[in-house]
A and B are shown apart, each in its own frame.
Chain A
Amino acid sequence: MSPDDSTPRSLFDKVWDAHQVKAETAETPGVLYIDLHLIHEVTSPQAFSALAARGLKVRRPDRTLATIDHSTPTLDFKAGEAPPYATRAAQLQVERLEVNAASNSIPLHGWGSEYRGVVHVMGPELGATQPGMTVVCGDSHTATHGAFGALAFGIGTTEVGHVLASQCLLQRKPKSLRVTVNGRPGRGVSAKDIVLAIIARLGIDGGTGSVIEYAGEAIEALDMEGRMTVCNMSIEAGARAGMIAPDETTFAWLKGRKLAPKGAAWDEAVTRWSQLASDPGARFDREIEMDASEIAPMVTWGTAPDTGISIGGHVPDARSASHQKALDYMQFEAGQPIAGTKVNQVFIGSCTNSRITDLRQAAEIMRGRQVAPGVRALVVPGSVQVRQQAEAEGLDQIFVAAGAQWRQPGCSMCIAMNGDRGEAGELVVSTSNRNFEGRQGPGARTVLASPATAAAAAVTGLITDPRSLMEPAHV
């Protein structure tokens, strides 16, 4: 509850207040209730072990939802055959989750589920993620779910155990930061370009300690997939979470989904959700504004996600020893144009950009073109649902005809845990979220980009402005 109902509150304030089991004091953090706990194979096994060691049960298996995504192979395999895991350890980890889920009555969208997918694709797709909720997962990209007006953030494995045992977390209220993106972006500029521009502006630690609310005309104009892309990368500016006020776009996307409210409950929910937007005059600890019309397709030059520059730009001079180290690792020279750089691999996928609209944008560029000789291109849909939808639209045929590999869903080359990876020295143009050293394989060099820019890199073999490949009709 707000101490004074007339005090204007932000979206974040409203969700925060509604989940206070116990308010924080000077000595102790508050107890925050968690509506939805998403789990996956990598960050949960030690939490289940901790519970078992203390003889504790999972408090709310009905508020817990599991999938397998990080360690899972994306190669095809026949029904009845064992999945082609990259390592025995990966297989054991997935099997451990299968056992933990079954013995704790937690729904698991594992092999064979038509909803299996990258955890941050699956939750929204099922309608499990809803406005006004608190959502956590042992994964830093949990902020994705903030696209629905949920407060969603990543936690460590100890806290995964806390939520399993109590459905709560000990938390102090973070600061608030509103990022307003005014105006409309130009053609060929996607949600990914917008968020890379925001991160470049904030810096990799500009959001530390904060929950971001994204607002403004350019954000409101995004479809839900685009909003998820933006919120997904909040952590790349150091922020705990990113949120966008729910609106008609949100409600239309959610309506009819498997776990979304139905009938009268739906109408009641929409009425409630419509109250969540920040009140006029709501206070933020910090605010920044940007102009979408100034944003071009973005690519990163360095080994941190805040190194985005416009695709027509030049690699900047090193400002520090760390920058110089990044230039050396990336094999870039200060002052060189980034466009025209030779590409070895292209990865289209990840919890940032593996949804249907992402794949449509990539397919539009690849349609009728061929992946350049010597380039390996992987297209990895975010979920079984996305894969089926893409196939229904014939997008898979476009990718395959172009010479790209059409894979089964998973995190794949974003985190390179499952055998999909770049080789040492290879330059990978990737629609994922992190370009840290070795992220996509030891020595692999990652350039972050939008699906359209990644597709343009695939068909030209070079970092290329996707607008140069777009039909005039698209202008």
Chain B
Amino acid sequence: MSDNPASLAHLHSRTFLLPQEDIDTDQIIPARFLTTTTQDGLGKLAFHDWRYDEDGKARDDCALNTLDTGEFAILVAGRNFGCGSSREHAPWALHDFGVRAVISSEIADIFRSNAAKNNIVPILAPPHSHAWLLEHEGVEVKIDLERQYVDLGNGPGFHFEIEPFAKHCLIEGTDPLGFLLSHSDDITAYEACSA
């Protein structure tokens, strides 16, 4: 077990669904909000143009506006979630909104890398489990990151792949920069060789 209080070794929550395929980072947080110089408080901008009309009024027909992410912290999304830009504002916004894991049948590379660095577990589900999740909104899901297993109760649970170092960092709260800087001598030696 981890001593890390923010550890995502075990995550037990309910799902909310965004079944659309190819949800890009411009949907997750529109570019016009990227003039910020901090990473705090972006949750209110998550899926902004889905949640609010042109006058900034919350849309009644958008379920995201009444979602309690304290209870529903696992986003199940259509194929290829997070495609598009490299903006880390996307996982910053999702985390602040309350998302702790994203499950899809495909997750875009840069988003996947950014998510894992911001305490969101990116999980690729096999097609039948993904389809089942998309048909069962709000189910209770247990994610065991240690064993890399998602328990869907009555549904088709599944094992998932995650890059071992990203998993280690998510569980232990290890800072990758610290790990990188522990190679300073190697970096200096490389620079001396290639100069």
The interface of chain A, by Cβ under 8 A from chain B, is 18, 21-22, 26-29, 31, 33, 42-43, 45-46, 49-50, 54, 56, 59, 70-71, 87, 89-90, 92-93, 96, 138-140, 154-159, 161-162, 165-170, 172, 174, 204-205, 208-209, 235, 238, 240, 304, 320-322, 325, 415-417, 424, 434, 436-439, 442-443
Does B106 lie within 8 Å of A208, measured CB to CB?
Answer: yes
A438 and B21 contact, Cβ closer than 8 Å, known pairs A26-B164, A158-B114, A161-B177: no
Instruction: Give a binary string over B142-158; 1 marks a CB under 8 Å from any A CB, 0 the rest.
Output: 00000000000000000
Q: Which 5 A-B pairs have the closest CB atoms?
A: A89-B35, A156-B114, A156-B88, A45-B37, A154-B86
Chain A residues with Cβ under 8 A from B22's Cβ?
Answer: 204-205, 304, 322
Give the most central of A71, A155, A156, A415: most B CB within 10 Å.
A156
Chain A residues with Cβ under 8 A from B87's Cβ?
Answer: 42-43, 156
Q: Which of A70, A156, A238 makes the CB contact (< 8 A) with B117?
A: A156
Q: How many residues in B have their beta carbons less than 8 Å from beta carbons of A?
A: 52
Chain A residues with Cβ under 8 A from B110's Cβ?
Answer: 140, 154-156, 235, 240
Interface residues of B in 89-121 (CB under 8 A from A): 91, 106, 108-110, 113-114, 117-118
A417 and B32 contact, Cβ closer than 8 Å, known pairs A168-B187, A205-B83, A321-B19: yes
**B40 CB, min distance to chain A CBs, angstroms:** 10
| B3 CB within 8 Å of chain A | no
A93 and B35 contact, Cβ closer than 8 Å, known pairs A158-B88, A172-B163: yes
Q: Which of B26, B108, B113, B117 makes the CB contact (< 8 A) with A208?
A: B108
**Distance between Cα atoms of A183 and B38 in the complex (Å):** 49
Residue of B nearest to A172 (CB): B163
**Distance between Cα atoms of A70 and B33 in the complex (Å):** 12
**B51 CB, min distance to chain A CBs, angstroms:** 12
Give the most central of A28, A325, A424: most B CB within 10 Å.
A28
**Distance between Cα atoms of A436 and B28 in the complex (Å):** 11
Residue of A nearest to B107 (CB): A208
Residue of B nearest to A90 (CB): B35
Does B180 lie within 8 Å of A158, measured CB to CB?
Answer: no
Chain B residues with Cβ under 8 A from A21's Cβ?
Answer: 183, 186-187, 190
| B79 CB within 8 Å of chain A | yes
**Distance between Cα atoms of A209 and B83 in the complex (Å):** 12
Give the most central of B19, B35, B180, B186: most A CB within 10 Å.
B35
**A272 CB, min distance to chain B CBs, angstroms:** 12
Chain B residues with Cβ under 8 A from A209's Cβ?
Answer: 109
Does A22 lie within 8 Å of B39, measured CB to CB?
Answer: no
A interface SS class: loop
Can you report 25 A-B residue pairs in the complex whose CB atoms are below 8 A from each other? A27-B168, A28-B165, A43-B87, A45-B38, A70-B34, A89-B36, A92-B35, A140-B84, A154-B86, A156-B86, A156-B87, A156-B113, A158-B114, A165-B180, A166-B187, A204-B80, A204-B83, A205-B108, A235-B110, A240-B110, A325-B20, A436-B26, A436-B27, A437-B49, A438-B30
Chain B residues with Cβ under 8 A from A159's Cβ?
Answer: 113, 117
**B134 CB, min distance to chain A CBs, angstroms:** 11
Q: Which of B20, B34, B113 makes the CB contact (< 8 A) with A42?
A: B34
A320 and B21 contact, Cβ closer than 8 Å, known pairs A166-B187, A238-B108: yes
Does A438 lie within 8 Å of B180, measured CB to CB?
Answer: no
Instruction: Give a binary string over B1-45; 1 marks a CB under 8 Å from any A CB, 0 the rest.
Output: 000000000000000000111101011001110111111000000
Chain A residues with Cβ under 8 A from B108's Cβ?
Answer: 205, 208, 238
**B102 CB, min distance to chain A CBs, angstroms:** 15
| B122 CB within 8 Å of chain A | no
Chain B residues with Cβ under 8 A from A139's Cβ?
Answer: 85-86
**B33 CB, min distance to chain A CBs, angstroms:** 9
Does A205 lie within 8 Å of B79, measured CB to CB?
Answer: yes
**A40 CB, min distance to chain B CBs, angstroms:** 11
Chain B residues with Cβ under 8 A from A45's Cβ?
Answer: 37-38
Chain B residues with Cβ under 8 A from A96's Cβ?
Answer: 37
**Assuming A29-B165, A204-B80, A304-B22, what are 14 further A-B pairs, CB within 8 angstroms?**
A26-B164, A43-B86, A49-B38, A139-B86, A140-B110, A154-B85, A156-B88, A158-B114, A166-B183, A205-B80, A240-B109, A322-B22, A322-B78, A437-B49
Q: Which of B34, B38, B84 makes the CB contact (< 8 A) with A434?
A: B84
Does B39 lie within 8 Å of A46, measured CB to CB?
Answer: yes
Residue of B nearest to A205 (CB): B80
Chain B residues with Cβ under 8 A from A166's Cβ?
Answer: 177, 180-181, 183-184, 187
Residue of A nearest to B30 (CB): A438
Chain A residues with Cβ under 8 A from B27's Cβ?
Answer: 436-438
**Distance between Cα atoms of A434 and B79 in the complex (Å):** 18
**Distance between Cα atoms of A46 and B39 in the complex (Å):** 7
Chain A residues with Cβ under 8 A from B61's Cβ?
Answer: none
Chain A residues with Cβ under 8 A from B78's Cβ?
Answer: 322
Does B86 lie within 8 Å of A167, measured CB to CB?
Answer: no
Does A205 lie within 8 Å of B20, measured CB to CB?
Answer: no
**A70 CB, min distance to chain B CBs, angstroms:** 7
Chain A residues with Cβ under 8 A from B70's Cβ?
Answer: none
Chain A residues with Cβ under 8 A from B84's Cβ?
Answer: 140, 235, 434, 436
**Distance between Cα atoms of A87 and B31 in the complex (Å):** 14
**A43 CB, min distance to chain B CBs, angstroms:** 7
**A170 CB, min distance to chain B CBs, angstroms:** 6
| B127 CB within 8 Å of chain A | no
**Distance between Cα atoms of A32 and B190 in the complex (Å):** 10
Does B187 lie within 8 Å of A33, measured CB to CB?
Answer: yes
Chain B residues with Cβ under 8 A from A28's Cβ?
Answer: 164-165, 179
A33 and B194 contact, Cβ closer than 8 Å, known pairs A156-B117, A321-B20: yes
